[in-house]
Amino acid sequence: MNVQYPVALSGAKSSTLMWSQEHEVGAQALQQLRNIAALPWVHGVRVMPDVHLGKGATVGSVIAMKQAVSPAAVGVDIGCGMEGVLTSLTAADLPEDLSAIRSRIEAAVPVGFRAHEYPVSIRRLGLDPRAWDRLWGAFTSLHDGVQDREKKAHQQMGSLGGGNHFIEVCLDDEDRVWLMLHSGSRNIGKELAERHMRIARDLPHNADLPDRDLAVFLAGTPQMDAYRRDLGWAQEYASRNRAVMLALVMQAVRESFEHEITFERPISCHHNYVAEETIDGHDLLVTRKGAIRAGSGDLGLIPGSMGTGSYVVRGLGSERSFYSASHGAGRRMSRNEAKRRYTVDDLVAQTAGVESRKDAGVLDEIPAAYKDIESVIAAQSDLVEVVAHLKQIICVKG
């Protein structure tokens, strides 16, 4: 049966439209959405087809609020997002054995809990250092409790992290080679988010919320001002982190070939962030947690899993979705359930043809733990148009 999206969420106290059917969403996630919609500051909620349970706020949700913002609706990986670039390489340029390219990328970009031994030289990568200088110049203005984290934040600039973060080499349907990566604000973003979430939970106006993890800051208060300052800094850190990583990956790929390689202008998009936007004629604070902006003409990246490919998309400017689209395929089961249900042999089978880790350390990232990316893209055909379909041939994970 063909479903006409969006559909309204039953029992929601404010306008809540879904690009998914209720029976496809877990009961806990649905309750989270109803809890969010019941907040008195919420203008409306939009639910993407990759929706799933999150901490406090649901992943795959877009929340428009009046003079308020909830740190949990952003998440702990502030500014997490995607970066992608089309190269001049084609499939015919690639060696049959891709392991050497993967090794070069892994040598250039620390993964998991690792960081660079020394801060990366921005100038040597050919990037304009002024933006990074401004970023570090503002570090002393951040939350008092993170002042001793500056050295670590410097060393983690240009590092991947773990979990669902990745670096990939992909082919599109025309056999052109793309580079793509997914990461965020690393430990410093997490530290800032958790500190502000603790502060918000103790504020009197949050005492009677259905879920204290949904605690909000209110405009015109020192707590809101402090959070917006740190939030903006962490979003910038995440963006700069991806830019450094992409430059390192591009360098590693250049060094893998004897002939010159050129790169198009990168595509970059946050999917855990807050922006001031006009929605339904109102100036609101829009939080996208596991969602990308899809305004008219906006380019975005929607990844699947480490074995199923990704999409480059262009936003159609849907007012009904608050100008948003999904950030990926979205998990259909928890990490623990994936590890219980599947084996390393399953992982090997599901990532056949991809040069990647195939061990117990990434079993929770097995493709079967994610929703079907084709269905997710189909469900939001009124939100984005497909520019390119990418299939990974190399996948680096922490």
Domain architecture of the chain: domains with CATH: 75-268+296-332+370-397 (3.90.1860.10)
- For 356-369, write each residue's pLDDT tens digit: 999 999 999 999 99
Task: Please check if 133 is assigned to a binding site.
Answer: no
pLDDT band at 395 (very low <50, low <70, confident <90, very high): very high
Task: Please check if 165 is assigned to a binding site.
Answer: yes
pLDDT above 70 as % of the chain: 100
Average pLDDT over the chain, rounded to an integer: 96
Task: Please check if 77 is assigned to a binding site.
Answer: yes
**Which residues, at least 6 apart from 293, have a Cβ–Cβ distance to it below 8 Å?**
269, 270, 275, 300, 315, 323, 324
Sequence-separated contacts (24+) of 373-378 with Cβ below 8 Å: 373/302, 373/303, 373/304, 373/305, 373/308, 373/309, 373/310, 373/311, 373/328, 373/329, 375/49, 376/49, 376/50, 376/302, 376/326, 376/328, 376/329, 376/330, 377/302, 377/311, 377/313
Task: Please check if 329 is assigned to a binding site.
Answer: yes
Reference 46, options 12, 69, 80; nearest CA is 12
* Residue position matching structure tokens 């909830």: 70
- Reported as type and span, the H/E element at residue 301 is strand 299-303
CA distances from 197 to 77, 120, 149, 255 (A): 13, 31, 19, 44
pLDDT band at 45 (very low <50, low <70, confident <90, very high): very high
Task: Please check if 263 is assigned to a binding site.
Answer: no
Quote the tokens at residue 234.
């962490």
Asked whether the predicted pLDDT for residue 1 surpasses 60, the reply is no
Measured distance CA(322)–CA(315) in Å, rounded:
11
**pLDDT score for 78:** 97
Quote the tokens at residue 141.
């203005």
- For 285-332, write each residue's pLDDT tens digit: 999 999 999 999 999 999 999 999 999 999 999 999 999 999 999 999
Which amino acid is residue 274, in one-letter code? V
CA distances from 364 to 114, 142, 166, 167, 396 (A): 20, 34, 14, 17, 15
pTM of the model: 0.96
Measured distance CA(66)–CA(48) in Å, rounded:
21
Q: Report the first-to-last Cα separation within the chain, whole angstroms.
A: 40
Give me the residues paired with residue 166 across strands: 182, 397
- For 110-167, write each residue's pLDDT tens digit: 999 999 999 999 999 999 999 999 999 999 999 988 989 999 999 999 999 999 999 9
Give me the mean pLDDT over the 232-254 stretch. 98
- For 194-218, write each residue's pLDDT tens digit: 999 999 999 999 999 988 899 999 9
Asked whether the predicted pLDDT for residue 24 surpasses 70, the reply is yes
Task: Using the Cα atoms of residue 131, residue 323, residue 79 and residue 220 in order, give the sign of their dihedral.
Answer: positive
Task: Please check if 164 is assigned to a binding site.
Answer: yes
Task: Please check if 272 is assigned to a binding site.
Answer: yes
Task: Please check if 393 is assigned to a binding site.
Answer: no
Residue 214's SS3 state is: helix
Sequence-separated contacts (24+) of 19-24 with Cβ below 8 Å: 19/46, 19/47, 19/48, 19/49, 19/321, 19/326, 19/379, 19/380, 19/383, 20/47, 20/48, 20/49, 20/51, 20/379
Asked whether the predicted pLDDT for residue 2 surpasses 90, the reply is no
Known catalytic residues? 327
Task: Please check if 334 is assigned to a binding site.
Answer: no
Task: Please check if 112 is assigned to a binding site.
Answer: no
Return the percent helix, strand and coil in the chain, to nearest 5.
Answer: 35, 25, 35
- For 27-36, write each residue's pLDDT tens digit: 999 999 999 9
Measured distance CA(193)–CA(251) in Å, rounded:
32
Task: Please check if 397 is assigned to a binding site.
Answer: yes
